[in-house]
């Protein structure tokens, strides 16, 4: 551009380019480089330069300065595009060092051939719910996507690898209930190198190597270059198998490749996943490192020092003692303890010590307090197995290590028809009961603490309790505690999920000042919770409840409910909610079975389980059984009396119906059937009309 200087002139319609010819003998000569930063030695030239522009452009000095200010603003907003345009004109190309992640779906053509629509829908769901949030959380930028592939740029190779491992590990759970022939499994390659910038696109060997690494990767695994491995090996508690030098198409030199097998990623315990901003708590957990079982290649998890356990309840499951005369029953005792440990690890609000740490006490006479101190836990579970003839007895006890007191104990007697079925039965019963007993014990401790001294987990625990009371004042206090939990730990997914749930409660019952703003808050808190931990069963359980209660979105509610159930089938709260949602969906017969299963799983279940069972029986037109279920409720709320009056009215017992209706109207003088029905979530109009008719028959005002 030797002939003149190009100026960007701001106009009412935007910004346009203006090329001005400047005579070569002016103080601002053609082709002269003007440094807008104006070093001190150039300050004296400012006036002649402005005078030259004045004469050339016919503009005042103030107009020129105003134009320059607008130029700087425009350049600030469009710097990358302008630099690229300048680079093209001058023959220069912009480069930078970056970490590149390349991913694609293994067997994509086969999946599309078998089920085109289903594959596309599943891939979109994985992108929306897992992959895109993971990339954002690890500070990545999606450069481009193809049908089944993706190219992502990261400023840090540590973030790139952490993101890849988080995605592959989460996909294991997401595929757990999917037929193997229909599973979407990714291959991922990561490289760090020099890249060329072209607008929003990137090119160069750094990109090409990442793409070639992805093709070398086994489905569900991860391959990285030697340069990437050098950057992460002392910073992430992962070690990759050295796969040697690999020759790659259109790459001049062989590239050193390191791989992490799919089986090894799947075997990574949750607390040993590398974290950027992802995760339920955003910090490393555990007191001792663990080695994952060797599988595929020889990759392994390095044992490293861990931080102290977080404030949430921590538990160690000791090896069960075999009291049988037959030493061959040792496998049953060990298997039972291992299954309990595995099941408990699915509860994100429990910190569970690994098998390797607890099984070193096997065969030893141990002091519970000593074990708890050595492992850094609050609770210890111990048990025994005794076989006699064709029966087996399993005894378990939960001990508070601080007081050495027994919090809970139980005994399970089973006939020896199928040893593995017994193992599953006893395990599921213990797993369903234990977290509730631990939470109850922890709640007792929380009650003795001043609110300002509560840790994040304890704030959530207290907030949950207040939420369940279902009153306006308790709802407000629950929100205060949940906001404090988030202030203490912004990456605590449970806190965000429960805040959404509590806001949803205030929305449904009309306790919020601005319903529209509250609805937006609910959506935002749910988005954060899901981005922080897509594999937290309780997060999906709450997402199901909020989508149903606040938005009447039955499809989305059922999707999250199924995800929660797949992630943790032994959580009694998830199991009972399955029955509750099936009832709302018009499938009360199935709902009854799920609710009864939840009651069997946890004999100490909350009282509200009876309310869920009563509603399911009413919807199934089993009015006698509905009334029996409702009669188990001691601390009845307003909805209880509405439902009970409907049951009596449907059964034809007008006296009892009027009595329940009178109690309801005494509590809520302005109660109306129409207003009450807005809090109900029936999908089918027939079920809603059935309930409406029964309420009106009970004598309640329309």
Per-residue pLDDT reduced to its tens digit, 398-452: 888 777 777 777 888 887 666 666 666 776 777 666 666 666 655 555 554 454 5
DSSP SS3 for 201? strand
Per-residue pLDDT reduced to its tens digit, 465-510: 788 777 889 999 999 999 998 998 888 888 898 899 899 889 878 8
Q: What is the pLDDT of residue 632?
A: 93
**Domains of the chain, start order:** 4-87 (no CATH), 95-272 (3.30.70.1230), 314-447 (3.40.50.10610), 453-546 (1.25.40.10)
Q: Residue 49 and residue 64: Cα distance in Å, rounded?
A: 10
Reported confidence tier of residue 55, pLDDT bands at 50, 70, 90: low
pLDDT for 17 beyond 60? no
Q: Give me 361's structure tokens.
A: 């006490």
Q: Residue 497 and residue 685: Cα distance in Å, rounded?
A: 30
Can you give the length of the chain in residues? 702
Q: By the 8 A CB rule, do 478 and 500 touch?
A: no
Q: Beta strand pairing status for 314-317 and 379-388?
A: parallel
More confident residue, 13 or 395: 395
Burial class (CB in 10 A: 0-12, 13-18, 19+), 33: exposed
Q: Give me 502's structure tokens.
A: 């509590």
More confident residue, 207 or 283: 207
Reported confidence tier of residue 361, pLDDT bands at 50, 70, 90: confident
Q: Residue 517 and residue 525: Cα distance in Å, rounded?
A: 12
Q: What is the pLDDT of residue 62?
A: 59
Q: What is the pLDDT of residue 645?
A: 97
Q: What is the pLDDT of residue 700?
A: 97
Burial 505-534 (b: 16+ CB within 10 A, else e): bbbbeebbeeeeebbebbeebbebbbbbbb
Q: What is the pLDDT of residue 71?
A: 59
Q: How far is CA 492 from CA 8, 75, 135, in A?
A: 48, 40, 18
């Amino acid at each position: 551009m030797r002939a003149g200087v190009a100026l960007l002139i701001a106009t009412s319609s935007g910004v346009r380019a203006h090329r001005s010819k400047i005579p070569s003998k002016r103080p601002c000569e053609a082709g002269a480089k003007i440094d807008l930063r104006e070093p001190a030695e150039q300050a004296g030239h400012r006036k002649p330069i402005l005078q030259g522009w004045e004469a050339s452009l016919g503009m005042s000095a103030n107009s020129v300065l105003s134009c320059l200010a607008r130029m700087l603003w425009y350049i600030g907003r469009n710097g990358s595009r302008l630099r690229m345009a300048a680079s093209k004109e001058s023959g220069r190309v912009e480069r930078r060092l970056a970490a590149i992640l390349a991913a694609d779906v293994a067997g994509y053509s086969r999946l599309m051939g078998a089920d085109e629509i289903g594959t596309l829908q599943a891939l979109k769901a994985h992108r929306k719910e897992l992959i895109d949030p993971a990339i954002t959380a690890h500070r990545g930028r999606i450069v481009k996507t193809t049908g089944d592939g993706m190219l992502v740029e990261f400023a840090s190779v540590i973030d790139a690898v952490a993101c890849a491992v988080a995605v592959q590990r989460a996909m294991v759970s997401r595929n757990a209930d999917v037929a193997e022939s229909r599973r979407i499994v990714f291959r991922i390659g990561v490289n760090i190198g020099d890249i060329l910038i072209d607008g929003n696109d990137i090119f160069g060997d750094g990109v090409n190597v990442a793409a070639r690494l992805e093709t070398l990767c086994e489905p569900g695994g991860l391959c990285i270059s030697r340069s990437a491995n050098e950057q992460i090996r002392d910073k992430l508690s992962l070690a990759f198998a050295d796969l040697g030098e690999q020759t790659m198409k259109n790459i001049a030199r062989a590239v050193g490749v390191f791989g992490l097998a799919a089986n090894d990623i799947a075997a990574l315990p949750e607390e040993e996943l590398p974290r950027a901003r992802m995760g339920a708590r955003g910090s490393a957990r555990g007191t001792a490192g663990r080695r994952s079982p060797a599988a595929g290649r020889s990759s392994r998890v390095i044992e490293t020092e861990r931080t102290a356990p977080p404030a949430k309840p921590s538990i160690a499951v000791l090896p069960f003692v075999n009291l049988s005369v037959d030493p061959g029953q040792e496998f049953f005792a060990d298997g039972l303890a291992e299954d309990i440990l595995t099941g408990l690890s699915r509860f994100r609000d429990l910190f569970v010590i690994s098998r390797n740490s607890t099984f070193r006490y096997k065969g030893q006479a141990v002091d519970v307090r000593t074990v708890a101190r050595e492992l850094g836990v609050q609770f210890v579970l111990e048990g025994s197995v005794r076989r006699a003839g064709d029966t087996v007895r399993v005894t378990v006890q939960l001990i508070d290590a601080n007081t050495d007191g027994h919090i809970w104990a139980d005994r399970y007697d089973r006939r020896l028809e199928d040893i593995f079925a017994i193992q599953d039965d006893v395990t599921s019963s213990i797993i369903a009961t234990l977290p509730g007993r631990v939470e109850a014990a922890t709640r007792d401790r929380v009650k003795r603490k001043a609110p300002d001294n509560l840790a994040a987990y304890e704030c959530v625990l207290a907030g949950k309790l207040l939420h369940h009371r279902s009153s306006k004042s308790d709802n407000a206090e629950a929100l205060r505690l949940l906001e404090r939990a988030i202030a203490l730990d912004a990456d605590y997914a449970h806190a965000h999920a429960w805040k959404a749930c509590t806001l949803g409660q205030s929305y449904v019952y009309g306790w919020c000042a601005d319903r529209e703003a509250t609805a937006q808050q609910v959506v935002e808190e749910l988005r954060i919770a899901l981005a922080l931990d897509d594999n937290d069963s309780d997060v999906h359980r709450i997402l199901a409840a909020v989508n149903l209660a606040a938005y009447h979105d039955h499809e989305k509610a059922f999707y999250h409910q199924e995800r929660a159930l797949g992630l943790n089938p032994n959580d009694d709260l998830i199991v009972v909610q399955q029955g509750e949602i099936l009832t709302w969906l018009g499938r009360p017969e199935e709902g009854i079975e799920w609710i009864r299963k939840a009651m069997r799983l946890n004999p100490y279940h909350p009282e509200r389980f009876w309310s869920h069972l009563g509603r399911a029986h009413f919807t199934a037109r089993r009015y006698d059984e509905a009334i029996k279920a409702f009669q188990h409720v001691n601390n009845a709320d307003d909805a209880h009396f509405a439902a009970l009056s409907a049951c009596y009215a449907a059964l034809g017992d007008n006296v009892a119906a009027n009595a329940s209706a009178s109690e309801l109207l005494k509590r809520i003088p302005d109660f109306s059937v129409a207003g009450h029905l807005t809090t109900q979530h029936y999908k089918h109009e027939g079920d809603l009309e059935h309930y409406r008719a029964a309420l009106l028959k009970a004598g309640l005002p329309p």
